[in-house]
Structure 1
Amino acid sequence: MTELAKYKMYINGEWVESSDGGYFTSYNPATGEPWCQVAKGTSEDVERAVQVAHQAFENSEWTSMTYSQRGKLLHRLGDLIAENYEKLADYETLDNGKLIREMRGQLQYIPEFYYYYAGLANKIHGDTLPIDKKDMFVFTSREPLGVVAAITPWNSPLYLTTLKLAPALAAGNTIVIKPSEVTSASLLELMPLIEQAGFPPGVVNVVTGFGDPVGNALTSHPLIRKIAFTGGTESARHVVHNSAKHFSQLSLELGGKSPNIVFEDANIESASMGIIAGIFGASGQSCVAGSRAFLHKSIYNEVVDRIVTRTSNIIIGDPMSPTTEMGPLATESQLKRMEHYVELGKGQGANLIYGGKRPAHLKKGWYFEPTIFEHTNAEIRIAQEEIFGPVLTIIPFENEEEVISLANNTNYGLAAGIWTNNLARAHQISKAVRAGIVWVNTYRSISPIASIGGSHWSGYGREGGVESIHEYTQNKVVWMNTSTEPMADPFIMR
């Protein structure tokens, strides 16, 4: 039997085992078999990593660097990722089962985020204030927070880490990252590139392991100034509770139940493909998955026919194959979750028109067919709860007022898709739909220039764009008295 690869943690520029020497096994979703072992971190490991990051922030060469120097390191890291994208993509696919062609495309684009924040690093500035006191000169500056904790999920490990790591470093913070226990390998494979780029030891640290104890210890640590979390709502509630102990700043990028709305004047072919991309791309394991499709009654049957026809031709199989269009789910528990929700949907009266089971031709791995329900009751659980898999619900509507009400009838507010050739309608509906991201006649488009984030159960705070830099800095106001006159009455506020 081939010995499994072993991954240690990365703390203070060194590869270290956990304090008790423990490891856990990571599985290849395409086969359901073990493929590597990862150090199983403890609360002691978290303590060490946070202390190291704190020291690196307080008294090291990192804090003595200029913003431009830090920007150059980020640019170099982007170059190194571009040079090694194929290797990193392979590890992502082995770990989470996403298509190799998707991962290669994603890894080729990720450097753009590092270049973007490299350029922003020396543009983090304050303002002079036109203060209403003639003998005062008042200005502001934006300063790094200190040690940041980043907790990342398993569906797009390096991309979602980048959304935190790049702006945090550009702003001058140090960071401790806890990747999902499901997908730790690709992030650990990134660490040699962090070294090659020239980041000092202790600036970037990785502690691997489970939510308890690693996640709990990290999010409740008194030296953590900010927590950047991407994941599910239940885990987020624990993070919010822990952050309150020491008033850590917090940004949450959580789940969604995103609507894809198709009006009667839309390009039917584009809208149909957009719905498929939104829910079956990445096997539906995406925070912004367009899991609810609302179709105008006049074009309902035509769009459903197109969606079902294309879905029936989706190639499901080995994610390493360049022809595969849908790979496995990331974990066995995800597979069981899909089966559970299919039974829920059928039990609550939804009409299963495609899929709903494991593919018969795949005997190994955690594969699940693309699945489509249609129904008219927007209150049933498959239309309200985030499933996080390839399960689409389709609902008809008659007019704008109705579909806005249906689209907003959810606890989530992350993303939405609107399909129409009516410019006025596009503006009106995009304003009316409660979502942090609205795509019009497209879906799942990303850029480092545009932020992502939502509201309510989809979280708060923003990642990406200029806004993200502000999430990793704090504002300082400096008052300078320019008068040579002595202070007057000390008991009167100036």
Structure 2
Amino acid sequence: MELQDLYTSHGQFINGIWRPGSESAPAMINPATEITLGDIKQAGAAQVTEAIAAAGKARESMRALSAWSRSALLRRAATLINERAEKLGYLVALETGKPIRQAVGEAKSSAESVDWFADEARRIFGMSYESRVKGDRYLVHMEPLGVVAAFVPWNFPLLLLSRKMAPALAAGNTLVIRPSNEAAGATMALIKCFEDAGFPQGAINLVIGRPAEITATIMNDPLVAKVSFTGSVPIGRLIVEQSAVTLKRVSMELGGHAPVIVHADADVDAFAAMAAPGKFRNAGQVCASPTRFYVHESIAKEVEEKLMAATRELRVGSPLDDATDLGPLATKRRRDAVEQMVDKAVSGGARVLSGGMRPRGMERGYFFEPTWLTQLQPDDSVLNDEPFGPIGTLTTFSTMDEVITEANRLPFALAAYVFTRSLTKTHATVDRLQAGVIGVNTFVAATAETPFGGSKDSGFGREGGPHAIRDYLDTKFVNVAMPTDAN
């Protein structure tokens, strides 16, 4: 099916039926070519309400499934995602500009996440223990919350959604999903994997449309018990405020501005080889992206030289080319924001070590060169606001106290990274860093089996790992008092 047909004839998945939305919307744009991919019909408020009602009705069907049945459905979905990884990756690359190798890798990571929670579905353990009265029992049951809403951005449309869908379904909940419009086709293809796996009718509902309108409808509906949100800090705050009206549970995975501390004893060659692709993965449009690099003054020159050399090896090009390391930014708005951030830093005295502009010879597409800045002022926006683009900053430090203070200065506390050969220095740094996720001598910040999330303004709650499913469960205590005449 052509994308245009997909956008116009599908768009919404409500109560087990694919249908178009009821309202027109801006055209979908290929960020690498600026050519229109198609026009998608968006959901109106009435369709969102219908999706919530369908999810509410399907709660009994999900509760009727045993843990082993839910596990089998998730395992089947994971298998289908793996089998369709190439197609899913192609759609992500086409719609968001993510390089195809990274996009296919995202699809496979999504399958891993779903597969992980297929196991967790069978490990929802309650408790039974003696009461204060001999012969009586205290029982603790874990039960699904009911209807869960999942809000997902465009930068990892498959993985971020899978991290929410898998634990919610493993726990026996139903879903209403509001994805990013920029990745509508990829999202629909992922939902199709769950549909084909055989989940009950109405258990999974997808509504694509104006974020503000969909969000308001969901937040005002008391049938929705929980919201899991990944996105910006301002929108996250708004959702938390709105959740108070109907007392919804919320999980927030918000922005970051990850510091990278490179100690004097770090392996500079290994660091540079990891830092260039790590910083510019998905053109820096990663919430856990390393952005503020603090290098010990004794190795600063060596690090700069090797990091620039590694960066020059990166290839900017078509996201559909297997050789491409950096594709375009996802939207013109994002490219313009990155460009303005660099221009503002330079006007304040910052020095551009590499990049800093649109690539020469690439007249179309929202491309921007991999950029390194140094000699920045403490109040430069690039050091204080998440760049969410292909910008890295280099700053030197001399003492541990100095670099820890600077690393922890911002209200963000999602990810941080440390490079050192010393186990003593590792523990001393990690213990003092404020971050939910820390990589030591690596930029790998998340896997299916490990918890991912932040604190401070970066949110609360964790996705992945053995505890994530608890955010989708309610606790019921039962005090069983035996009748006095019972045998």
Q: If the length of structure 2 is used for normalisation, what is the TM-score? A: 0.96
Q: How does 1:272-421 map to 2 (within 5 A)?
A: 272-375=272-375, 377-421=377-421
Structure-2 separation of matches of 1:184 and 1:216: 20
SS at match of 1:280: helix
Structure-1 separation of matches of 2:104 and 2:6: 24
SS at match of 2:411: coil
Preserved CA contact (<8 Å) 2:345 2:376: no
Evaluate the alpha carbon distance shift between residue 233 and residue 445 of structure 1 in structure 2; reply closer, same or farther with a 3 A threshold.
Answer: closer
Alignment partner, residue 97 of structure 2: 97
Structure-1 separation of matches of 2:154 and 2:353: 30
Structure-2 separation of matches of 1:190 and 1:420: 40
Alignment partner, residue 440 of structure 1: 440
Alignment partner, residue 14 of structure 1: 17
Q: How does 1:23-42 map to 2 (within 5 A)?
A: 23-42=25-44
1:322-371 superposed Cα distances (whole Å, 9 cap, x missing partner): 11111000000001101110122123332222211111121110000111
Structure-2 separation of matches of 1:376 and 1:103: 33
SS at match of 1:352: strand
Structure-2 separation of matches of 1:180 and 1:258: 24
The structural deviation recorded for 1:133 is 4.6
Structure-2 separation of matches of 1:459 and 1:411: 10
SS at match of 1:305: helix
Q: How does 1:194-343 map to 2 (within 5 A)?
A: 194-343=194-343
Preserved CA contact (<8 Å) 1:150 1:228: yes
1:231-273 superposed Cα distances (whole Å, 9 cap, x missing partner): 1112112211221110100001011000111011111011123
Structure-1 separation of matches of 2:304 and 2:172: 50
SS at match of 1:15: strand
Alignment partner, residue 118 of structure 1: 118
Shifted more, 450-459 versus 474-483: the winner is 474-483
Structure-2 separation of matches of 1:98 and 1:376: 29
Q: How does 1:144-163 map to 2 (within 5 A)?
A: 144-163=144-163
Preserved CA contact (<8 Å) 1:5 1:35: no
SS at match of 2:39: strand
Preserved CA contact (<8 Å) 1:278 1:291: no
1:476 aligns with 2:479: no
Alignment partner, residue 491 of structure 1: none
**C-alpha RMSD of the superposition:** 1.7
Preserved CA contact (<8 Å) 1:277 1:443: no
Alignment partner, residue 70 of structure 2: 70
The structural deviation recorded for 1:444 is 2.7
Shifted more, 216-225 versus 148-157: the winner is 216-225
Opposite residue 45 of structure 1, the aligned amino acid is: Q
1:56 aligns with 2:58: yes
Evaluate the alpha carbon distance shift between residue 3 and residue 225 of structure 1 in structure 2; reply closer, same or farther with a 3 A threshold.
Answer: closer
The structural deviation recorded for 1:36 is 2.4
Opposite residue 29 of structure 1, the aligned amino acid is: P
Preserved CA contact (<8 Å) 1:260 1:275: no
Preserved CA contact (<8 Å) 2:147 2:226: yes
Alignment partner, residue 49 of structure 2: 47
Structure-2 separation of matches of 1:295 and 1:21: 52
Preserved CA contact (<8 Å) 1:180 1:210: no
The structural deviation recorded for 1:37 is 2.3
The structural deviation recorded for 1:221 is 1.9
Shifted more, 314-323 versus 271-280: the winner is 271-280
1:462 aligns with 2:462: yes
SS at match of 2:180: coil
Structure-2 separation of matches of 1:3 and 1:199: 25
Preserved CA contact (<8 Å) 1:288 1:444: no
Structure-2 separation of matches of 1:23 and 1:334: 20
Structure-2 separation of matches of 1:155 and 1:3: 19
SS at match of 1:184: helix
1:453-489 superposed Cα distances (whole Å, 9 cap, x missing partner): 0011111111111111001001111111236289xxx
1:253-305 superposed Cα distances (whole Å, 9 cap, x missing partner): 01100011101111101112332233211100000010100000000011011
The structural deviation recorded for 1:96 is 0.5
Identity %: 34
The structural deviation recorded for 1:104 is 1.3
Alignment partner, residue 431 of structure 2: 431
Structure-1 separation of matches of 2:206 and 2:16: 10
Opposite residue 481 of structure 1, the aligned amino acid is: A
Q: If the length of structure 1 is used for normalisation, what is the TM-score? A: 0.94
Shifted more, 349-358 versus 126-135: the winner is 126-135
Structure-1 separation of matches of 2:452 and 2:144: 21
Opposite residue 464 of structure 2, the aligned amino acid is: G
SS at match of 1:421: coil
SS at match of 2:413: coil
Preserved CA contact (<8 Å) 2:221 2:246: yes
The structural deviation recorded for 1:170 is 0.1
1:169 aligns with 2:169: yes
Structure-2 separation of matches of 1:434 and 1:140: 34
Opposite residue 181 of structure 2, the aligned amino acid is: E
SS at match of 1:291: strand
SS at match of 2:54: helix
Shifted more, 469-478 versus 440-449: the winner is 440-449
SS at match of 2:480: strand
Evaluate the alpha carbon distance shift between residue 213 and residue 297 of structure 1 in structure 2; reply closer, same or farther with a 3 A threshold.
Answer: same
SS at match of 2:369: coil
Equivalenced residue count is 482
SS at match of 1:373: strand
Structure-2 separation of matches of 1:42 and 1:3: 21
1:93-131 superposed Cα distances (whole Å, 9 cap, x missing partner): 111000101111222232221111111111101112454
Preserved CA contact (<8 Å) 1:27 1:34: yes
